[in-house]
Amino acid sequence: MMDIHEFIVQFQDNLAPKLDTYEQAIYLYIFRHSRFLGLDEVTIGFKSARTRIATGTGENGKPMSENTAYLKLASLQTKGLLTIVRTNHAGRVLRLHLPSEIPDLITVPDKKSEIDIETMDFFVVHENRALLLKREDYRCFYTLQDIDNNNFVVEHVVSRPVGNNSYRNCVAASREANNKKGAMSAEDFLRRLFREGYLSDAEFQGRIIALEKLKAGELRPPLKVDSRYN
């Protein structure tokens, strides 16, 4: 049995954007009188049917002309949405194709290619460590000094074994900052940097805000690294 809900979603999301107003109206009219009723084929005489298809879209509220109906029908066939099987005395014999039956219309996401950033290890996996460096814009998360792939380390905001290796708890930092911080909390370490003149007042406030965003999961690393880390 046809899933009408699925059809409507596929039509609106995937098919309608490729059709003009008349093509949409004709397609849905044919659907109503064929596949909706479980029929593979239907005969429609557009000389009379056109008056019941999207009445009011024509000039001054008139229905589409017979010529327009046939032109749009041909266009739908060219686009692979239906097949004009034959013509008889009653009209056109048509076979409508559902959105799911049209090649390359609906792209099914490849679940294997989906990346769950929440499960990624940013401490052990080399490629993921590089993503932290890019997220920090090649500056130490704590001191804001310039760092690169030769002198940065991945630092746990909350030390292990309590802290984990997620992007919410790992940052790119200078070796000097990593050694100074030790087991100190990130907040206390930033206050120390401020007191010792490593950070200005504005920088200190900015780092506190960044720390809050980090813990809230708002500082997501990019999932691609650039050429500076090779």
CATH code assigned at 94: 1.10.10.10
Number of folded domains that form the chain: 2
Say yes or no: 118 and 205 in one domain: yes
- For residue 173, the one-letter residue type is A
Asked whether the beta carbons of 220 and 117 are under 8 A apart, the reply is yes
Cβ-based neighbours of 148, under 8 Å, separated by 6 or more: 133, 138, 228
What share of the chain has pLDDT > 70, as a percent? 92
Residue 222 lies in a domain: no
Cβ-based neighbours of 131, under 8 Å, separated by 6 or more: 122, 167, 221, 222, 223, 224, 225
CA geometry: angle 27, 29, 34, nearest 5 deg:
95
Expressed as residue numbers, the domain containing 208 is: 114-215
Residue that is last in its domain, among 49, 74, 101? 101
Residue 54 lies in a domain: yes
Residue 29 lies in a domain: yes
Whether the predicted pLDDT of 213 surpasses 80: yes
Residue 108 lies in a domain: no
Nearest alpha carbon to residue 214 among 149, 158, 138: 158
Say yes or no: 66 and 91 in one domain: yes
Q: What is the CATH number of the domain that holds 165?
A: 1.10.30
Q: What is the chain's length?
A: 230
Say yes or no: 180 and 157 in one domain: yes
pLDDT the model gives residue 58: 56
Q: Reduce the DSSP state of residue 42 to 3 states and report it.
A: strand
Nearest alpha carbon to residue 215 among 191, 185, 192: 185
Residue 58 lies in a domain: yes
Which runs of consecutive H residues, i.e. helices, occur in 15-163?
21-33, 46-49, 66-78, 126-135
Task: For residue range 118-139, list pLDDT tens digits in order.
Answer: 999 999 999 999 999 999 999 9
Say yes or no: 54 and 119 in one domain: no
Residue 49 lies in a domain: yes
Nearest alpha carbon to residue 154 among 185, 221, 199, 140: 140
Say yes or no: 142 and 185 in one domain: yes
pLDDT the model gives residue 23: 95
CA separation, residue 166 to residues 118, 132, 189 (Å)? 7, 11, 20
Say yes or no: 131 and 94 in one domain: no
Residue that is last in its domain, among 51, 69, 101? 101
Say yes or no: 128 and 197 in one domain: yes
pLDDT the model gives residue 60: 67
Say yes or no: 35 and 90 in one domain: yes
pLDDT the model gives residue 40: 95
Its pTM surpasses 0.85: no
Summarize the confidence of residues 28-40 as an average pLDDT: 96
Residue 109 lies in a domain: no
What does the DSSP assignment read for 210-227? HHHHHHTT--PPPSS--T
Task: For residue range 43-96, list pLDDT tens digits in order.
Answer: 999 999 998 888 765 566 788 889 999 999 999 999 999 999 999 999 999 999
Q: Reduce the DSSP state of residue 178 to 3 states and report it.
A: helix
If pLDDT is split at 50, 70 and 90, which confidence band does 102 have? very high
Residue 32 lies in a domain: yes
Residue that is last in its domain, among 78, 101, 124? 101
